[in-house]
Homo-oligomer: A and B are copies of this chain.
Amino acid sequence: MASPDPQRLSLNTATVRERWNLAQTIEGCARHGIRGISPWRDKLDELGAAQAARRIRAAGLTVTGLCRGGMFPARTAAGRRAAIADNRKAIEDAATIGAKCLVLVVGGLPQGSRDLAGAREQVKEGIAAILPHARQCGVPLAIEPLHPMYAADRACVNTLSQALDLCDALDPGKTGALGVAVDVYHVWWDPQLQAQIRRAGRKRILAYHICDWLVPTTDLLLDRGMMGDGVIDLKRIRGWVEGAGYRGFHEVEIFSARNWWRRDPDEVLATLKARHRRRS
């Protein structure tokens, strides 16, 4: 399979978050010829959305997403309203920086709850509540199914199938306002992956995130691998995503407390550029 276009590489700020602030990350992308960036909101808050937007634009970068909205379920109605308000703010910030989408990590079980079906219903209601504002602001919402090991505490949407069911229910016309973020780390294991990527199609794949699954994985959250260091067949999955019509960026998001977060970010960027070319 042909190597991917290096122009499609994007850096998620989480990959270098321990060493670089947003300004440094923007400069680093420019220095390494990486054309896309996807900030987390804590990084955006360092500069404020308006100034961040100016700097990103000045560096000529495409904002492939803003991480993240979501976290809808809550024990109380007030908690759920607060989540909606926070998501509206995230949508506005995403618009300010010209993000291709707002990534939604939808949230898990409310504190003390075991009602997974109920949490999933709250997620549906939450997305429905913010979708009109997202449309007005011109910010597509990308539901990111998270690996089932995060079902309790981060996201109770755990398969692409489930995310696409939400899209079908809330945006039956496929207007482009609602879609999915396909992160290989979360979905690589899914026996339905190929079929669901095809189902998603060009209109609903709003983002494509890459990294790798290490064997062994020593931490549920902070032990993701660099492309090529694990067991995910990245070329095969990219083939499926491109086969579905996706022509967007390949965003590298690596949480790695024991390895990549400890290294010089310039080394990390050089490595991920090479691995994107050869191993993705």
Contacts and interface: CB of A to CB of B under 8 A. Distances in A.
Contacts of A115: 233
Interface string A206-217: 000000010111
Contacts of A113: 231
21 contacts: A109-B231, A114-B232, A114-B233, A114-B236, A116-B188, A120-B191, A147-B149, A148-B149, A148-B189, A149-B220, A151-B189, A152-B230, A152-B231, A153-B215, A158-B189, A158-B190, A158-B191, A159-B191, A161-B191, A162-B191, A216-B220
Which 3 pairs across A and B sit closest by C-beta, in order of nearness? A151-B189, A114-B233, A148-B189
A115 to B, nearest CB: 7
Contacts of A116: 188-189, 233
Nearest to A114: B233
A32 B159 CA distance: 42
Interface string A77-117: 00000000000000000000000000000000100011110
